[in-house]
Amino acid sequence: MEINELEEIDKTVKGWLRESRDNVLRNIDTRLTVSTKTSRRDLVTNIDKQNEKFIVSKIREFEPHARILGEEGFGDKVDSTKGRVWIVDPIDGTMNFVKQRNHFAIMIALYNDGIGELGYILDVIGNRLLSGGPKIGVFDNGQPLTPIADTALKDGLIGLSGPMVLNNEFNMVDIAEKSLGMRIYGSAGIDIISVLRGELVGYISYLKPWDFGAGKILCESAGLKMTTIDGKQLGMLSSTAVLLATRNAHRDVLTIVGK
């Protein structure tokens, strides 16, 4: 896709995100309707659904034939990476949203033939938007992102998934011990923003396409590595254990995982 078109889409998506944030904030103090999905820790609320419907309707209005992959199912069944695909996570960190009304994100990504073009992660309460892509660059609230130091695992904090640590999957305890400390934020979006801002050297979690779709575009554009936990290439439609890190910390983690 060409820069002119990307810049036009970029302006439009930022408008949707402003509206989407306003909608969420307007409803944040209302009583939520919460239901469980695959387990008692896997939640969805009326706001997740409302917000996905809102974003999907904006995409459809803008691009009537767009294919949309949305977590809550208001998009399309997407099983190929061909052509333009939008990926939407209407509330990332639903448990945080329900229990804290904070530390959650809205994420949107645009892929073309499997190649990431534009990614957006909005920390709703922090009012911080990470946006951009390989052709237009990465921005932190509209300012070019500060270059990320290539910090080693031993010199930084690592964001981890709670269940993976509890089960010591992939030597997660060793990974935490070799770092300066672990953080468990409970939102892939918030963790990915922290890696992009140099506050974490990496992040590891089981993720679905809507959890990492936007982050992969932003992180790869910013010189970070995002792969599967065993260092393999991550497809746009994969659901797997994901390792995001600086180049140095990525190599450090792979050594501990045994790959």
Min CB(42)–ligand 2AM separation in Å: 4
Q: Does 4 bind ligand 2AM (CB under 6 A)?
A: no
3-class secondary-structure state, position 214: helix
Q: What are the structure tokens assigned to 107, written together?
A: 């994420």
Min CB(54)–ligand 2AM separation in Å: 16
Min CB(117)–Ca ion separation in Å: 20
Is 55 or 256 the residue whose CB approaches Ca ion more closely?
Answer: 55
Nearest to 93 by CA among 227, 186, 219, 199: 186
* Total binding residues toward ligand 2AM, as defined by CB under 6 A: 15
Q: Does 94 bind ligand 2AM (CB under 6 A)?
A: yes
Q: Which residue has the tokens 């209407």?
A: 90
**C-alpha–C-alpha distance, residues 168 and 157, integer Å:** 18
Q: Does 41 bind ligand 2AM (CB under 6 A)?
A: yes
177 carries a ligand binding annotation: no
Min CB(178)–Ca ion separation in Å: 27
Contacts of 97 (CB under 8 A, 6+ apart): 45, 47, 48, 91, 104
Considering only 20, 50, 187, 248, the residue that binds ligand 2AM (CB under 6 A) is 187
Q: At what angle do helices 188-196 and 209-221 cross, to 10 degrees?
A: 10
Considering only 52, 123, 191, 211, the residue that binds Ca ion (CB under 5 A) is 211
Stretch that binds Ca ion, among 86-94, 145-153, 161-169, 194-202 (CB under 5 A): 86-94
Q: What are the structure tokens assigned to 229, written together?
A: 């936990």
Which alpha helices (H) appear in 63-208, and where do they start and end? Answer: 94-100, 162-166, 172-178, 188-196
Min CB(104)–ligand 2AM separation in Å: 7
Q: What are the structure tokens assigned to 44, written together?
A: 């969805």
Q: Which residue has the tokens 């892509």?
A: 133
3-class secondary-structure state, position 77: coil
User: How many CA atoms are closer than 13 Å to the CA of 71, on its beta-carbon side?
Assistant: 30
Considering only 52, 211, 220, 252, the residue that binds ligand 2AM (CB under 6 A) is 211
155 carries a ligand binding annotation: no
Q: Does 52 bind ligand 2AM (CB under 6 A)?
A: no
**C-alpha–C-alpha distance, residues 121 and 244, integer Å:** 15
Min CB(165)–ligand 2AM separation in Å: 12
Q: Does 20 bind ligand 2AM (CB under 6 A)?
A: no
Nearest to 84 by CA among 182, 169, 5: 5
Answer with the entry of ligand 2AM, Ca ion, none that 227 interacts with (C-beta below 5 to 8 A by kind). none
Considering only 13, 16, 17, 92, the residue that binds Ca ion (CB under 5 A) is 92
Q: Which residue has the tokens 């078109």?
A: 5
Instruction: Name the binding residues.
Output: 71, 89, 91-92, 211
Contact residues: ligand 2AM, CB under 6 A: 38, 41-42, 89, 92-95, 186-188, 205, 207-208, 211
Sequence ranges of the binding site for Mg(2+) = 71, 89, 91-92, 211
